[in-house]
C-alpha cells in the first residue's frame, strides 16, 4: 500500500498519522490515495468514539447505511453474474457498459478492506471512497432509492443519502 492511516490506539504519546511509502505514480501513491488516507484521519476518531448521543445516532445510521450499500452491491453482483451465465453460450454483448462498470465497482466495494469486512470499518471506507473515487461516487449515484416519493419530491440515489449523513 502506498499510504496508510494509523490511529495509534493505546499509544498515548504518539498522535494518529498517515504513512506515505515512496512517491510518484510508480509507488502507487497518488493525490487520490493521499486524500483517502487523510480523510480517514479526519473521520475515524469521531466514528470510533462519538463524543455525544447525537453523534452516536448519526454514526449508527451511517453504519446501517453502509450495510445497505453492501447489500445493494451483493444484489448487483448476483444479478449481473447470473446474466453473464445466461449469455455464456450466446454471442453478443453480455453486459451494457453501465452494467460492466456496476459489476466492477460492486466487486471492489465488497472487498474485505472496504465494505466486506468489519462493520465499523465499512462506514469509514464508504465515506472516504465516496469522497475520493469518482467511479464509486458515480456508482452510488446510479442506484436509485426505492421508496414512495411525495408529490414534488425528486427521485434520489444512494449517493444522495450519503451526502445527507456527511452533511
Tens-digit pLDDT profile for residues 148-167 = 667 777 778 888 888 877 76
Q: What is the pTM of this model?
A: 0.78
- Grouping H, G, I as helix, E, B as strand and the rest as coil, residue 54 is helix
- Grouping H, G, I as helix, E, B as strand and the rest as coil, residue 126 is helix
Euclidean distance between CA atoms 99 and 25, whole angstroms = 29
List Cβ neighbours of 83 (8 Å cut-off, separation of 6 or more): 94, 95, 99
| Residue burial 54-84, b: 16+ Cβ < 10 Å; e: rest | eeeeebeebbebbeebbebbeebbeebeeee
Euclidean distance between CA atoms 56 and 58, whole angstroms = 5
Tens-digit pLDDT profile for residues 101-141 = 999 999 999 998 888 778 778 888 888 888 889 999 999 99
Higher pLDDT, 20 or 8: 20
Given a contact cutoff of 8 angstroms between Cβ atoms, the answer to whether 160 and 145 are in contact is yes
Query: Treating both helix axes as pointing N-terminal to C-terminal, what angle do 119-132 and 31-48 enclose, rounded to 10 degrees?
Result: 140
Judged against a pLDDT cut of 80, whether residue 15 lies above it is answered with: no
Handedness of CA 108, 113, 117, 119 (dihedral sign): negative
Given a contact cutoff of 8 angstroms between Cβ atoms, the answer to whether 135 and 80 are in contact is no
Name the band, by pLDDT with cuts 50, 70 and 90, for residue 5: low
Tens-digit pLDDT profile for residues 31-90 = 787 888 888 888 888 888 889 999 899 889 888 989 989 999 999 999 999 888 877 767
Cell numbers at 75, concatenated: 444484489
Euclidean distance between CA atoms 41 and 53, whole angstroms = 22
Name the band, by pLDDT with cuts 50, 70 and 90, for residue 145: confident
Judged against a pLDDT cut of 70, whether residue 24 lies above it is answered with: no
Given a contact cutoff of 8 angstroms between Cβ atoms, the answer to whether 61 and 53 are in contact is no
Per-residue pLDDT at 13: 54
Amino acid at each position: 500500500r502506498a499510504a496508510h492511516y494509523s490511529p495509534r490506539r493505546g499509544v498515548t504519546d504518539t498522535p494518529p498519522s498517515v504513512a506515505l511509502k515512496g512517491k510518484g505514480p510508480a509507488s502507487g501513491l497518488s493525490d487520490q490515495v493521499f486524500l483517502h488516507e487523510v480523510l480517514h484521519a479526519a473521520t475515524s476518531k469521531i466514528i470510533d468514539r462519538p463524543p455525544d448521543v447525537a453523534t452516536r445516532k448519526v454514526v449508527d445510521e451511517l453504519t446501517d447505511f453502509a450495510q445497505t450499500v453492501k447489500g445493494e452491491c451483493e444484489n448487483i453482483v448476483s444479478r449481473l453474474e447470473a446474466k453473464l451465465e445466461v449469455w455464456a453460450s450466446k454471442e453478443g454483448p453480455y453486459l451494457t457498459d453501465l452494467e460492466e462498470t456496476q459489476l466492477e465497482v460492486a466487486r471492489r466495494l465488497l472487498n474485505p478492506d472496504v465494505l466486506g469486512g468489519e462493520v465499523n470499518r465499512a462506514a469509514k471506507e464508504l465515506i472516504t471512497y465516496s469522497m475520493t473515487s469518482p467511479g464509486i461516487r458515480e456508482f452510488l449515484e446510479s442506484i436509485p432509492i426505492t421508496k414512495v416519493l411525495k408529490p414534488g419530491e425528486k427521485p434520489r440515489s444512494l449517493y444522495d443519502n450519503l451526502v445527507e449523513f456527511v452533511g
